[in-house]
Amino acid sequence: MRISAWNHSHMTSLRDLPPVDALAAQVDAPRAVAVAAARAVLAERRRELLAGSVEEADLAERARAWVADASRPRLRRVINATGVIVHTNLGRAPLAAAAREAVARVAAGYSNLELDLSSGRRGSRHDHVSALLCELTGAEAAIAVNNCAGAVLLATAALAGPGREIVVSRGQLVEIGGGFRVPDVIAQAGARLVEVGTTNRTRRADYAGALGDATGAILRAHPSNFRQLGFVQEVEIEELCELGVPVIDDVGSGVLADDLEVLREEPSVRRSVRAGAALVCFSGDKLLGGPQAGLLVGRADAVAAARAHPLARALRLDKLGLAALEATLRLYRDPDAARREIPVLAMLTVPDDVLLARAERLAAAVGGEIVEATARVGGGALPLLELPGPAVALPSAPDPLAARLRAADPPVIGRIEDGRLLLDPRTLADDEIALVASAVGS
């Protein structure tokens, strides 16, 4: 059969399947894209037929749909109506306007990423944020890497490394998202794990009894979304720093807004620095409200060891992340401005009357009912904290409606609770209400 003679639209058997070129010719797209679509659609149809499918299929239409889907960016903006503020699946913290603008400026062309403009000599990318981090935390020195897991790995490798020991409480040998486990980090750094205490109670004497000539550091690990309640005991950071060996304190979420009551249960970066921790590790994209980054602040000698370690280059932060991080950190110089302009902090502290007014506008726009609900912080931070407030319940069957909203442009992500799809105004910006209404009404 010549390719030009093929004009079947519905294929019901393997014998009816067209050649790749014949199907690609029916797709209005660059040849390479059309051929890729044809191959993908034919492979899918073969699987269906071999599985016993007898339904007709319009392969040309499938190929055109494949091209349309392939033309859309895979990483897209979505509207978060879940009520989970630091939503890991949705990219964690949304950036402040100042951070977005900083990224756009740096992305527009070349930058002085590793150039000292005053001397004309090569500079360090760490210099763009290190002074700000020291100013805001009281640390002697600081560097930034690509995420907090990387920061902990680098800190462990720099202060302990092969042949040395890292002392950790058994109650802190946690696993966080993606199978990231504290014992595995220590092993990758080449150090030997020394467990102290019990699962629920660890005392200062347990740490002291484990220290010796081979001790490289004590690691205090943030429990992320795991909490112990009841008959528990742990050693405070001040006591750990009195034991005479370097302390690596993974405080996780990066709380710099110490004055916010809602964040009182999360460990403070400044407190750990004041206590004398050698290195304090924390995230840039959780409660700090910036881009994905891992920040290390602390003593000058410890930071210098981390900067000199080979892993520092492998884990370094790129120019766009540094631009967003610098802009976010600058906002913290004015705590009131930080609460207003950093979205995570604004969502945590939004007044009840503002939240209710937003819910009323949303309900009117989508035809929903205002109900009482509970938002969450997310991102492994404050797992026990509940943020009560209004949400908007939609009347349609939740699963089909949720699928339709995910297919919108931009996609809208809500949460299903008690058999209803809820849209939570806490994680919606005012200018997103019209987009949500358009998606619901489409």
What was the pLDDT predicted at 2?
40
Q: Hey, what are 100's tokens? A: 């977005």
**What domains are defined for the chain?**
3-71 (no CATH), 79-89+344-441 (3.90.1150.180), 97-337 (3.40.640.10)
In one letter, which amino acid is 10? H
Say how far apart CA 392 and CA 190 lie, in whole Å. 51
Continuous segment of H or E residues that includes residue 215: strand 215-221
What was the pLDDT predicted at 234?
87
What was the pLDDT predicted at 16?
84
Q: What is the DSSP letter of 292?
A: S
Q: Hey, what are 20's tokens? A: 């790749």
How many CB atoms sit inside 10 A of residue 385's CB? Answer: 16
| Nearest to 269, CA basis, from 286, 259, 256 | 256
For the chain of 442 residues, list the mean pLDDT of each consecutive stretch of 10. 44 82 95 96 94 88 95 93 94 96 97 96 95 98 95 94 91 75 86 91 93 95 72 88 96 88 88 97 94 97 97 96 98 95 96 96 95 89 84 94 95 95 96 95 80
Distance of CA 35 to the CA centre of its chain: 36
Query: To which residue do tokens 């950790």 refer?
Result: 168
Q: Hey, what are 80's tokens? A: 């978060």
Q: Hey, what are 345's tokens? A: 């902090």
Given CA atoms 298, 299, 302, 303 in this order, what sign does their dihedral have?
Answer: positive
Q: Name residues whose C-beta falls within 8 Å of residue 202's C-beta, 6 or more positions apart in sequence.
A: 169, 170, 171, 196, 233, 234, 235
What are the distances in angstroms from CA 154 to CA 148, 241, 246, 404?
10, 20, 14, 44
Say how far apart CA 302 and CA 272 lie, in whole Å. 14
Q: What are the beta bridge partners of residue 436?
A: none
- Residue 41 · residue 63 · CB < 8 Å: yes
Say how far apart CA 83 and CA 130 lie, in whole Å. 33
Query: To which residue do tokens 């007898």 refer?
Result: 54
What are the distances in angstroms from CA 170 to CA 37, 146, 177, 382?
53, 27, 19, 21
- Residue 420 · residue 393 · CB < 8 Å: yes
Q: Hey, what are 338's tokens? A: 């930080």
Say how far apart CA 271 and CA 275 lie, in whole Å. 6
This prediction has a pTM of: 0.89
Say how far apart CA 93 and CA 407 lie, in whole Å. 23
What was the pLDDT predicted at 379?
77
What was the pLDDT predicted at 411?
96
Continuous segment of H or E residues that includes residue 169: strand 165-169
